Structure formats: C-alpha cells, structure tokens
Structure 1
C-alpha cells in the first residue's frame, strides 16, 4: 500500500530535522558551549549559507533523498510553475484546449495592482513638516 503524501512528507521532514541536529552536534566537536552558540545563531532569517558546513551537507543529502523517495513512491516532482500532468485513462483521447481566443479571461486578483512599495507606499508615514522658528 502506498503511503499518503502527508505521511511521506512527515517522514521526510522528521528525518531531515534529526539528521540536521546530529550534524549540528558534530559541527560543535563535542564542545557544549560551541553547540549552544551554533543553536543560538539560528533564527527565522537564517539562510543555508549561514549554517555550519556539516549541517549544509546533511540538508543537501536529505533533499536529494527526499526527491528520490517521492519519485519512488509514485509522486511527481516538477519545478514550480509547471502544470501538473494527469494520467489519462487507458484508451482515452487527449483533450484539446485551443490557445488564445477561447473562453473568458479574468483580470488578476486585486485589479492587477499590487501594494505600492517605496516612498508613499505600504507602511510609510507622511513626511514630517520641518521644525521652524
């Protein structure tokens, strides 16, 4: 019986977290103060390059094995933005969808206008009047 996508992802993430912790311990060379310093240096804005080399290698190996495991279990792995392909039933003719000119087109959400950034945009304050005397 094939595993559900949720079970498979939980297994992959759990394994990755454990392997990363072991690699972090290894990077500290058994020195508790260094381990505490490494753990304290991890925060929400930490990038892969900020982590110790041993931990980077463990994460890279786990990502490779995760993709292999997903493919082995029958899940498709495609780059973001690629349209998912569904297997058609045996003997079914492919559906032809004409490009352009067909169907109703909807405008993007929010009228195509995102929040303004920069001066005078989202989260900015109006300029303060000059102090004068």
Structure 2
C-alpha cells in the first residue's frame, strides 16, 4: 500500500528531528550544560551557519534522505534549475472595443437624470460649512 505524501513527510520530519537531537548531543560531547547552551542559542532568527557543525551535517543528510525517500515512494521531486520555471508569457488583458456600455461588468450604473423640482428649495441656504473668507 502506498503512503500519502503527508504520511511520508511526517516520517521524514520526525526522523530529521530525532537525528538533529542526536547531533546536538554529539556536538556537546556529552556535557549536559553545553547541550542546553546550544539548544538555548537556537531561536527564530538563527541562520544555518549559526548552528553547530554536527547539527548542520545532520540537517544536510536528513534533507538528502528526505528527497531520496520521496522519490522511492513514487513522488516526483524536481530541481527548479533543471525543471525550468519559465512560463510562457501571458497575453495582456484587452480593453473592450467600442463605446462604454455603462453598467456591464460591475462598477457604477449610468447616472440617471434628476427628477424635476429636485435640489434645495428656492431661497434656502446651501448646506455644509460656509466658505472661508
């Protein structure tokens, strides 16, 4: 029975975490305080180069093993440099030909003429702020 990609990735990530913890233990040479210091130094902004060398090697081998495992399970893993990310150019959107037709594709409907007698009553002051003088 074939496994789903989620199951394969779950196993791969679990294996990578366990290997990483083993690499941290190796990097600390069995000294618990050194291992705690190395773990405490890892935070959200830690870069790959900031990690201990043993942990870097473990991560690299785990990544290689993950791609190999995915390929052996039958999933396709492509290198973007080899696969090529060039898409054919998309045609530019065309403007509609001819006169505008008002409320065809959204937007405002065409303005309706005002009914007779609309607006403010004769002699009434305009609403709003008076103009600055």
TM category, shorter: 0.5 to 0.7
**Please, what is the CA RMSD of the aligned residues?**
2.4
In the alignment, the residues of structure 2 paired with residue 105 and residue 69 of structure 1 have an alpha-carbon distance, to the nearest angstrom, of 43
Corresponding residue SS for 2:34: helix
Corresponding residue SS for 1:77: coil
For structure 2, list consecutive stretches of 5 or more residues without a partner in the other structure.
Answer: 95-133
Runs of 4+ aligned structure 1 residues displaced above 2 Å come to 79-84, 102-106
Corresponding residue SS for 1:75: coil
TM-score (norm. length: structure 2): 0.61
Larger radius of gyration between Structure 1 and Structure 2? 2
In the alignment, the residues of structure 2 paired with residue 68 and residue 3 of structure 1 have an alpha-carbon distance, to the nearest angstrom, of 15
In the alignment, the residues of structure 2 paired with residue 56 and residue 18 of structure 1 have an alpha-carbon distance, to the nearest angstrom, of 14
The alpha carbon displacement at 1:16 in A equals 0.2
- Structure-2 residue corresponding to 1:2: 2
- Count residues in correspondence: 91
- Structure-1 residue corresponding to 2:124: none
For structure 1, list consecutive stretches of 5 or more residues without a partner in the other structure.
Answer: 85-98, 107-133
Q: Map 1:1-133 to 2 at 5 A.
A: 1-80=1-80, 105=93
